[in-house]
Structure 1
Amino acid sequence: MRPSWTGVYPAVTTKFKENGDLDIPAFVKNVEFQIESGVSGIILGGSLGESSTLSADEKLQLVEALQPYRSKVPVIMNIAESSTVRAIEAAKKAEEAGADGLMLLPPLLYKADGDETVAYFKEVAASTSLPILLYNNPVDYKIEITVEMFKQLQDVENIEAVKESTRDLTNITRMKNAFGNRFKIMGGVDTLCLEALLLGADGLVAGLVCAFPKETVVLFELAKQGKVEEAVELYRWFMPLLEMDIHSKLVQYIKLCEVYTGIGTEFVRAPRKMITGVEREKITQTIEVALENRPSY
């Protein structure tokens, strides 16, 4: 299924067994719950999916595991590479494995300038027919994709959308003013998701959706229906959980949320470690309070 870049796209966590091996049944179980809850696409192998610990073959295994679901939602694979050659190779293999689209980060490790970053995106896009969502997150990845850079990319037909994670909400209006609807805009920061939608974002690439998909879908729908008061009420309930998405341990925190909602496991790959002690008590308290006051949908 071709991505529309509207609605809610979970950046799903990768499930592992206690020994560190991929846990495909647990991965698929979570994705099935996402689909039942009304999400519009699945993004795998992102930072929340512990991309840095996955081999290229493991990412393809995840794509292949979701082939039976492609008639229901598009399957998007993340590409995060430090080399143009490796990024092109990953794009080609993702297409061969049955991915419906790509999320593409700027080059990692080396802080490429604007011309280098634009060239990187163009070369990767030229290597595949898959639609591409660019990931604009200068806070974590140190390279901003500016409006001027997007002007150089607007003729690249398969670069269709951007995950907007600059933390500058004004950027949504800048993009709409500059390009109209040429690029779909996906809000990429959980703690700014309602604001992003109200300012014109077309959808969300979300984190806490991994544990709370129904609530995330309802929040999106309320915002798009103009039911702002209802959306704000749900957002205020959600916010203590959404704060976990902007913490360096978002993977561990969100996986613990998945355990509490019965749709995930807590195992992570080193150097990450499962949280313990006072930190764990604090996070579990936040989760338990949220569950005690969870709205019914």
Structure 2
Amino acid sequence: MLNNAKGVYIVAQTPFDERGNVDLDSIDTLVDFYRGHGANGFTVLGVSGEAGKLSAEEARQVAERYIKCAGDLPVVIGVSNPSLAQLSAFSREAMDLGAAGVMIAPPAGLQTDEDLLGYFGEVFRRIEGTPTVLQDFPFASKVAMSVPLIHQLIERHQEIQLIKEEDLPCLNKISRLREGNGRRVAILTGNNAMYLPLELQRGADGPMAGFSYPEMLTQVYGLHQAGKFEEADDLFDIYLPLLRYEAMGFWGVCARKEVMRRRGAIRHATMRTPGPKLSEKDLHEIDRLVARLETRLGR
């Protein structure tokens, strides 16, 4: 059950070959890479997974391959779509493939609590009983959800089992969500794990984020669970320059793919058009950041 989710749910990339075709074989190596670094689950076809650039058939193929490769690890499939018909159809398809649940963010244009309550009422009428991650990411969705509204949605809809909390500022919002007296749901955090140690201190159950060194996410989480808070902070600080570099929107995802290509996780660092391409200066910066990181880890 997603309401008991803890640990690191990796926001997985969608790999493409040099021509921009979906590279299904690289999903196999990518899952092995993430699993080898301690992933507890996966989130597929999110914003940084370039879901909006895939056809419906490609999205199904990517979801199916990740679910198959993940084996016993839970896989959450992003199904957000302005079309409720497409959202509900893909949700059913994802669950039939073996997904642990779906992730939904509200579509742009919803402005009031009444709008949001009505929207999610219709969503869960169509996908009744489907375990759901409610994604609170106003930067991408352009929709703000208040803490009282989220509490109300949780109480109205048993389908909501996990909140992906990545509003900014995130820390007080996590605290306020945890202070609610209603049904407990899991809280995993996004924003590229930029604030992970602080978010864990506020009551988050782990990150739902992507990073080219996923072992940092699992090690920081493990240290925090062991009560070794200073050690968790010290380790996080070592990775912070590269983590920050990868936090620059789709350009940062492009940099992340390049680092993962170098680490053997995927064959190509391609972003599907429209998407950024790294310059020689960018590649030089990545060289330097990775070299400095490896040096500090070696010490």
TM-score by length of 2: 0.91
**2:55 maps to which residue?**
55
Of the structure 1 ranges 27-36 and 174-183, higher mean CA displacement relative to structure 2 is found in 174-183
**2:117 maps to which residue?**
118
- 2:4 is aligned with what amino acid? S
Q: Identify the match of residue 196 of structure 2 among 178, 193, 196.
A: 193
**2:174 maps to which residue?**
172
Measured in 1, the distance between the counterparts of 2:40 and 2:264 equals 21
**Maintained 8 Å contact 1:107/1:117:** no
**1:152 maps to which residue?**
152
Confirm or deny that 1:138 pairs with 2:141. Answer: no
Name structure 2 gaps, 5 residues minimum: none
**1:239 maps to which residue?**
240
Measured in 2, the distance between the counterparts of 1:64 and 1:283 equals 32
Shift of 1:100: 1.6
**2:126 maps to which residue?**
127
Q: Structure 1 residues 119 and 294, CA, compared in 2 at 3 Å: closer, same or farther?
A: farther
Measured in 1, the distance between the counterparts of 2:101 and 2:149 equals 21
**1:34 maps to which residue?**
34
Q: Structure 1 residues 45 and 150, CA, compared in 2 at 3 Å: closer, same or farther?
A: same
Q: Structure 1 residues 81 and 145, CA, compared in 2 at 3 Å: closer, same or farther?
A: same
Shift of 1:160: 0.8
Of the structure 1 ranges 68-77 and 222-231, higher mean CA displacement relative to structure 2 is found in 68-77
- 2:44 is aligned with what amino acid? L
- 1:164 is aligned with what amino acid? E
- CA deviation map 1:243-296 (0-9, x unaligned): 134312122011012122221230110111321132332233212221232369
- CA deviation map 1:137-178 (0-9, x unaligned): 112322122112123212311101111111221001100112
Shift of 1:39: 1.1
**Maintained 8 Å contact 2:102/2:130:** yes
Corresponding residue pairs, total: 293
**RMSD (Å), alpha carbons:** 2.0
Alignment of 1:1-297 (within 5 A): 4-108=4-108, 110-128=109-127, 129-153=129-153, 154-168=155-169, 169-179=171-181, 182-189=184-191, 190-208=193-211, 211-248=212-249, 249-264=251-266, 265-294=268-297
Give the SS at the match of 1:90: helix
- 2:162 is aligned with what amino acid? A
Give the SS at the match of 2:179: helix
Q: Structure 1 residues 179 and 291, CA, compared in 2 at 3 Å: closer, same or farther?
A: farther
Give the SS at the match of 2:148: helix
Give the SS at the match of 2:22: coil
Q: Structure 1 residues 83 and 229, CA, compared in 2 at 3 Å: closer, same or farther?
A: same
Q: Segments of 4+ in structure 1 off by > 4 A? A: none
- CA deviation map 1:3-60 (0-9, x unaligned): 7321101111101111111111111211122122221111111111111111122111
**Maintained 8 Å contact 2:3/2:162:** no
Shift of 1:76: 0.9
- 1:196 is aligned with what amino acid? E
**Maintained 8 Å contact 1:187/1:204:** yes
**Maintained 8 Å contact 1:79/1:91:** yes
Give the SS at the match of 1:178: coil
Shift of 1:71: 4.0
Measured in 2, the distance between the counterparts of 1:252 and 1:131 equals 31
**Maintained 8 Å contact 1:188/1:205:** yes
Of the structure 1 ranges 139-148 and 46-55, higher mean CA displacement relative to structure 2 is found in 139-148
Name structure 1 gaps, 5 residues minimum: none
Q: Structure 1 residues 99 and 227, CA, compared in 2 at 3 Å: closer, same or farther?
A: same
Give the SS at the match of 1:162: strand
**Maintained 8 Å contact 1:147/1:178:** no
- Identical-residue share of aligned pairs (%): 26
**Maintained 8 Å contact 2:133/2:163:** yes
- 2:296 is aligned with what amino acid? N
Shift of 1:123: 2.5
- 1:274 is aligned with what amino acid? K
Q: Structure 1 residues 294 and 123, CA, compared in 2 at 3 Å: closer, same or farther?
A: farther
Shift of 1:118: 2.6
Give the SS at the match of 2:4: coil
